Amino acid sequence: MFRRETRSSIVHINNDKERDITLYKGHGGLYIGATDLSILNGARVTIILQAENANIHSFGTPSAKPIVDAFLSGTTPSINKVKASKIARLQREVARLNMEKTIEDKRNQIAILHMKKIQDENPDLIHEQPPPQDLHLQKYPSPCNAWKPLQNTRALT
């Protein structure tokens, strides 16, 4: 694959596909730069991009909505709104995880009840773990030695 020459100036990209690829790659780098800026000095950063095809991409550290709302209303965003936004998001995540755990617990209870039912219906069916075996290598012949007689018979035929 050939590499394009370095551009000496920035010009509009006429090819739609190349323009979309450039936007896709560029907004990733832009988001990384915004995150770095936020980490270095604690700034809250919001980026909103609208492509020519009307796709809107947004990014915010920690969240874009409170910063945009404060900008549009003409007030400075309070840290409490940002924290409340984060807390609400985390609470939704905790609720989702709790629901998944509840579903998993119910499935486990059903499986246990099913196993108990099978054991009650078949009292003579007992599943026991076999005793552990000593798998010391010196007690067993080498697999290579087992192949030697087979190789000798093949050579004879």
Tokens of 77: 């965003």
Percent of the chain with pLDDT over 70: 71
- Contact between 78 and 71 under an 8 Å Cβ cutoff? The reply is no
Does this model's pTM top 0.75? My answer is: no
In tens, the pLDDT along 32-89 reads 888 888 777 777 888 888 877 777 877 777 677 878 888 888 876 666 767 777 777 8
Task: Say what the pLDDT of residue 127 is.
Answer: 60
Tally Cβ neighbours within 10 Å of residue 72: 8
Task: Say what the pLDDT of residue 78 is.
Answer: 62
Counting other chains too, the contacts that 115-118 makes at CB distance below 8 Å and 24 or more residues apart are none
- Contact between 34 and 57 under an 8 Å Cβ cutoff? The reply is no
In terms of C-beta density within 10 A (0-12 exposed, 13-18 middle, 19 or more buried), how is residue 66 classed?
buried
Tokens of 46: 């919001």
**Residue 133 CA: distances (Å) to CA of 68, 130, 138:** 67, 8, 14
